[in-house]
Amino acid sequence: MSDKRTLLISTRKGLITYKKNNTRKWSFDKVDFLGLPVSMAYVDKPNNIWWACLDHGHWGSKMYRSFDEGNSWEEVDAPRYPEGEEVKKDVPASLNYLWAMNGTTNGSTTSLFVGTEPGGLFKSVDNGNSFELVRGLWDHPSRKDQWFGGGRDHPGIHSILIDPKDSSHIFVAISCAGVFETTDGGKLWIPKNNGLKADFLPDPKSEIGQDPHLLVACESNFEVMWQQNHCGIFRTTDGGNNWQDITDKGGEANFGFAIAADPKNEKVAWVVPALSDGIRVAINNSLCVCRTEDGGRSWDTFRNGLPQGQSFDITYRHALDQDEETMAFGTTTGNLYLSNDHGENWNWLNHNLPMVHCVEFI
Amino acid sequence: MPLVQFTSNLKRFYPSLKETEIEAKTIDELIDQVNDHYPGLKNYLTDDQKSLRHHVNIFINGSMIKDRRKLKDEIQKNDQVYIMQALSGG
């Protein structure tokens, strides 16, 4: 049974915390960074350090950390692109957006990774006191000529997956470039996009230029990964060597941003679909969640408790999370929904939040 | 010495921020000096390549600076420098 009692909701107007009481009822607790856009929050569980990434409109992207579970926050220097670096010829590289965080702890050493727009992956080994650009990926020969922005002005790393059995084995997903893998801690990166399709490219099967919206893995079997892609839903069972298209052709589970993988059952995943990349609202103005229990061969659609016929909600890529039987997702129109039965039935927690960027149980 | 004034919106992050006399001959020197007084403030005003952020404006005696990229506009000892933000968002 779910035992996590805190829900962190990163929104356009602050970091909002919900708490669960002993009767399993969730309620609003507080807001930090009121009025400021929070692109995401991340909790370094082994060290119990909370992180918040801010996206000031005027002052740039900032990072804050908390050593007391969000009671107090301190700003740390956000990752910086080295002087002279370029996104492409004559386009200076500067931190535009903090879009992904993940970390791994071996003994007394924690490696913290941050994915950013315009395409740089940064690493810290001192709990965020300093960050260093991961050169192996930034200097990848495909980057300057074949990566490009998707939704944002420049390429961005929104997904970082670290093999629980081997911390030097890492995947990142980039919009738009695709999935890349390193097995040596970040020196050499190999594209892993065979089987994906990018309908918006002259060659849809191009190895570089794919648009994974989010990459997730099954915790108990890291060979199994899923991605909600711009052009459908894909799954791999061989560590990204081959991707299978598991889109529900003609059904709801097709376009979208968010995807969640069951940590124990490698055949179970959820998506919150939307209507086409050109329109981007709930399908038929009716919000739903789709779940597969057979590795994507079939999808079930769940609507109970979600608005039907009057919804314009989109769920961003990091705005769906799962903890055992409990699931939550937030939307662009400020709705926050919760399910206590693996996504089959939903209740609303709030209809009046700011736009939701990221949802995380801790 | 040139006198530097700041948008009040920066006080949220630097509560002690106040108009300050800074010894500098160019805007980039001035920002470095400002950063000595208020550590980290430089990162709020300039990006990773040391250019002025898109939504930040700097005025010298009421005239907007011309060199946003390298910040080499010159300052005289009696100048007033205003560090402002663009008004946007919602």
Tokens for A44, please give them: 């370094």
Q: Report if residue B90 sits inside a domain.
A: no
Closest to B61 (Cα-Cα) out of B4, B20, B19, B1: B4
Is residue B87 over pLDDT 70? no
Q: What is the band of B88 on the pLDDT scale with cuts at 50, 70, 90?
A: low
Decide if pLDDT at B7 tops 90.
yes
In angstroms, the CA A257 to CA A267 distance is 19
Residue B89: pLDDT over 70: no
ipTM of the complex: 0.90
The pLDDT assigned to A278 comes to 85
| Nearest to A96, CA basis, from A85, A110, A107 | A85
pLDDT recorded at residue A332: 97
Q: Please report, for the domain that includes residue B51, its CATH number.
A: 3.10.20.30
Q: Are A154 and A119 in contact (CB under 8 A)?
A: yes
Task: Please report residues of A whose CB lies closer than 8 A to that of B45.
Answer: 59
- Say whether B48 and A59 touch across the interface (CB within 8 A): no
Instruction: Identify the pLDDT of residue A150.
Output: 87
Number of independent structural domains in chain B: 1
Q: Do A92 and B53 touch (CB under 8 A)?
A: no
Instruction: Assess if residue B22 is contained within a domain.
Output: yes
For testing the chain A interface, which of B43, B56, B57, B58 should be mutated: the one with the most A CBs within 10 Å?
Answer: B43
What pLDDT score was predicted for residue A349?
A: 97
Q: Which of A58, A77, A92 sits opposite B49 (nearest CB)?
A: A92
**pLDDT (0 to 100) of residue A151:** 81
The range of the structural domain enclosing residue B23 comes to: 3-85
| Predicted structure pTM score | 0.96
Residue B90 has pLDDT above 80, yes or no: no
Q: Would an 8 Å CB–CB cutoff place B43 in contact with chain A?
A: yes
Listed as ranges, residues in chain A with pLDDT below 50 are none
